[in-house]
């Protein structure tokens, strides 16, 4: 028998509790469920080479032994129900010994159900006094520890969604470009889930832009653009609907340009007027790619219009295109290109500032700079003593010293370009919490 997964453990825990809500403890079904759970627990701990398992609930996610656990379709409602119960009885951590005796397991289940049925004033699980089962409510953590745990849960979920989105979007992008079909309904669902995960990171999603440093594929850059667009959209006060449309535009509005020969793109500066014009209406080519999909909803129409207005070196009129022009330019500037190294975020902001009103809509540039601030999240700097520093948010920096990241409020001094930065700046975001 293979070792159970963390997901299975969670599902069995829920089944254990649910069964005891319905059947008496001495009932054969209840006894069977307890036996199965204990066996699952033992085998899981054996697979983990651990004497116990820690199940934590932070930020609407389960962490099992510090790893995010997400449900599969079959176990979704069990996960959701168990999460809800944990939240209602204010249970943050549950520690279970690999060989929990049945008597203690019964006492734990009874206490859980008792607190659950009371709903208003849980406390039985906190005062069980058992040796193999321990429960901790949120009150035991300091604010910093609780924030760190919640951040880790959100980060794990974000990375999971980011990788799923990149991989799926690449596939769909390729299919659509080759004239194949795509289920735009599922794509929208994915976009919504991605937005939810990214918003939980606040602007820290910007810290993962270096994933695109050497990346050539437009589909990947579409997702990375969304990492910028999502928190920017939030700062603009965009509704969920508009956020979703903006991210869809990040993903698809440039798909038409993929049909232009790469050599034309590379030689932009030396193209003739006719070639320039051809390039200009190439944005229109998005229609040619997306219309054959046979979906023409208001959202698709919005996408087409946005794509048609993505002009080079000329501010767009269309409100969504205005935002997208700035976001697109920024994301492109902070990545390496064959003809130049990645710009530091402050250099990219200087370009936007200089060209506001000329290549970009002025108001949008101003809003974008307000959002980024003088020290954008994810930007790399030196500190006074010359240590490498990554901006985590306006009040927190990560400073790299002797192989470790230290997190405190530190003033960035000089911009440090990525191509000479001595450490992967994304690790600052991964190790915090």
Partner 1 sequence: MGAEELRRVREIAVNLASVVKSARLYQPGHKSVREMLERTHGFLLAFLEDYIYLELEIDAEGMKWEGRPLVEAGEQEFDFLFRFYRDGVRQVTFVQGIPLAELEAFLALIYQDCPSDQDLATLAWRRNFLYIEFAVVEAFHRILQQDSEEEKKAMREEMDAWTALALRPLLDPAPDAKPSEEVMGGAIPPEAFTARERDGNPALDETRERAVEQVISRLVRALESPDEKMIQQAAKNLRMLADILLRQADLEQLCHLLDLLPADATQSEVRGLRAFLHGTDALGRLAGHFLQEEQWPEYSMALFCNRLGDDSLLLFLRPLLAAPQEKLDRLLDCLMRFRGDVMARLGLEMPASRIAGLLDLAREAGGDALLDAFTGHREGAVRLEILRRRAVVTDAHLEAALKDPDRGVRMHALSLISRDRRAALVPTLLDGIRGEAFAALDSGEKEKWVVVAAMTAREQAEDFFIGFLESKGLFASAREEEMKALAAKALGIIGGEKALPALQRESKRITSSPRVRQSCSISRDVILKKTKKP
Ranges within 392-421 binding partner 1 (CB under 8 A) = 414-415, 417-419, 421
The smaller minimum CB distance to partner 1, of residues 132 and 427, is found at 427
Other CB atoms within 10 Å distance of the CB of residue 240: 12
Rounding to the nearest 10 degrees, give the CA dihedral for residues 149, 153, 158, 159: 90
Binding string to partner 1 for residues 52 to 71, with x set by CB under 8 A, is what? ------------------x-
Applying CB under 8 A, does 192 fall inside the site for partner 1? Answer: yes
Q: Which two tokens stand for residue 126?
A: 């906190």
**Minimum distance between the CB of residue 138 and partner 1, rounded to whole angstroms?**
18
Residues 264 and 242: beta-carbon distance below 8 Å: no
Residues 315 and 361: beta-carbon distance below 8 Å: yes
Binding string to partner 1 for residues 343 to 372, with x set by CB under 8 A, is what? xx-xxxxxx-xx-----------xx-xxxx
| Contacts (CB under 8 A) with partner 1, residues 249-308 | 277, 281, 284, 287-288, 291-292, 294-302, 304-305, 308
The smaller minimum CB distance to partner 1, of residues 45 and 371, is found at 371
SS3 91: strand
Residue of 27, 39, 77, 175 that binds partner 1 (CB under 8 A): 77
The smaller minimum CB distance to partner 1, of residues 140 and 292, is found at 292
b/e string for 23-47 if b means 16 or more Cβ within 10 A? Answer: eeeeeeebeebbeebbebbebbbee
Residues 399 and 427: beta-carbon distance below 8 Å: no
**Minimum distance between the CB of residue 130 and partner 1, rounded to whole angstroms?**
26
# residues near partner 1 by CB under 8 A: 112
**Minimum distance between the CB of residue 21 and partner 1, rounded to whole angstroms?**
7
The smaller minimum CB distance to partner 1, of residues 213 and 271, is found at 213
Residue of 163, 175, 313, 314 that binds partner 1 (CB under 8 A): 163
The smaller minimum CB distance to partner 1, of residues 132 and 346, is found at 346
Applying CB under 8 A, does 110 fall inside the site for partner 1? Answer: no
Applying CB under 8 A, does 73 fall inside the site for partner 1? Answer: yes
The smaller minimum CB distance to partner 1, of residues 150 and 238, is found at 238
The smaller minimum CB distance to partner 1, of residues 55 and 248, is found at 248
The smaller minimum CB distance to partner 1, of residues 35 and 189, is found at 189
Residues 428 and 398: beta-carbon distance below 8 Å: yes
HSE at residue 264, side-chain half, CA atoms within 13 A, is 15
Residues 388 and 360: beta-carbon distance below 8 Å: no
Percent of the chain that is helix, strand, coil (3-state, to 5): 60, 10, 25
**Minimum distance between the CB of residue 147 and partner 1, rounded to whole angstroms?**
21
Residue of 37, 184, 330, 405 that binds partner 1 (CB under 8 A): 184
The smaller minimum CB distance to partner 1, of residues 140 and 417, is found at 417
Q: How far apart are CA 76 and CA 194, in angstroms?
A: 18
| Contacts (CB under 8 A) with partner 1, residues 20-39 | 21-22
Q: How many helices (H) and strands (E) does the chain have?
A: 16, 10
Q: How deeply is 206 buried, as exposed, middle or buried, from its count of CB atoms within 10 A (0-12, 13-18, 19+)?
A: buried
Residue of 236, 260, 271, 332 that binds partner 1 (CB under 8 A): 236
Q: How far apart are CA 256 and CA 127, in angstroms?
A: 63
Residue of 164, 202, 217, 311 that binds partner 1 (CB under 8 A): 164
Residue of 35, 99, 240, 401 that binds partner 1 (CB under 8 A): 240
Q: Which two tokens stand for residue 196?
A: 């939810």
């Amino acid at each position: 028998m293979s070792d159970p997964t963390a997901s299975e453990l969670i599902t069995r825990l829920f089944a254990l509790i649910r069964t005891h809500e319905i059947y008496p403890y001495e009932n054969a079904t209840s006894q069977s469920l307890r036996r199965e759970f204990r066996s699952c627990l033992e085998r899981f701990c054996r697979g983990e080479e651990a004497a116990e398992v820690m199940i934590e609930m932070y930020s609407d996610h389960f962490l099992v032994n510090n790893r995010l656990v997400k449900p599969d379709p079959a176990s979704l409602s069990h996960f959701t129900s168990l999460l809800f119960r944990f939240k209602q009885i204010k249970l943050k951590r549950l520690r279970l010994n690999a060989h929990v005796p049945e008597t203690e397991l019964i006492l734990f289940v009874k206490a859980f159900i008792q607190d659950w049925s009371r709903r208003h004033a849980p406390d039985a699980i906190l005062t069980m006094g058992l040796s193999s089962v321990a429960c901790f409510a949120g009150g035991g953590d300091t604010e910093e520890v609780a924030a760190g745990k919640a951040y880790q849960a959100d980060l794990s979920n974000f990375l999971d969604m980011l990788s799923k989105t990149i991989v799926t979007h690449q596939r769909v992008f390729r299919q659509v470009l080759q004239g194949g079909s795509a289920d735009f309904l599922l794509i929208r669902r994915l976009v919504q889930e991605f937005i939810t995960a990214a918003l939980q990171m606040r602007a820290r999603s910007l810290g993962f832009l270096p994933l695109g440093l050497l990346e050539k594929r437009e589909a990947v850059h579409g997702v990375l653009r969304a990492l910028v667009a999502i928190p920017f959209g939030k700062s603009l006060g965009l509704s969920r609907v508009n956020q979703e449309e903006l991210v869809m535009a990040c993903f698809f509005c440039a798909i038409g340009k993929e049909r232009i020969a790469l050599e034309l793109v590379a030689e932009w500066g030396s193209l003739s007027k006719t070639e320039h014009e051809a390039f200009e209406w190439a944005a229109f080519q998005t229609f040619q790619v997306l219309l054959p999909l046979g979906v023409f909803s208001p959202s698709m129409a919005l996408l087409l219009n946005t794509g048609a207005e993505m002009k080079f070196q000329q501010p767009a009129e269309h409100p969504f295109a205005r935002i997208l022009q700035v976001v697109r330019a920024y994301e492109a500037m902070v990545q390496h290109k064959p003809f130049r190294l990645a710009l530091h975020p402050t250099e990219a902001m200087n370009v936007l500032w200089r060209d506001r009103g000329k290549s970009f809509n002025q108001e949008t540039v101003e809003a974008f700079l307000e959002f980024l601030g003088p020290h954008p999240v994810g930007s790399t700097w030196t500190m006074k003593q010359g240590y490498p520093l990554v901006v985590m948010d306006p009040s927190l920096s990560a400073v790299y010293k002797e192989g470790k990241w230290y997190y405190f409020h530190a003033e960035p001094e000089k911009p440090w370009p990525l191509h000479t930065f001595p450490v992967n700046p994304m690790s600052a975001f991964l190790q915090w919490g």
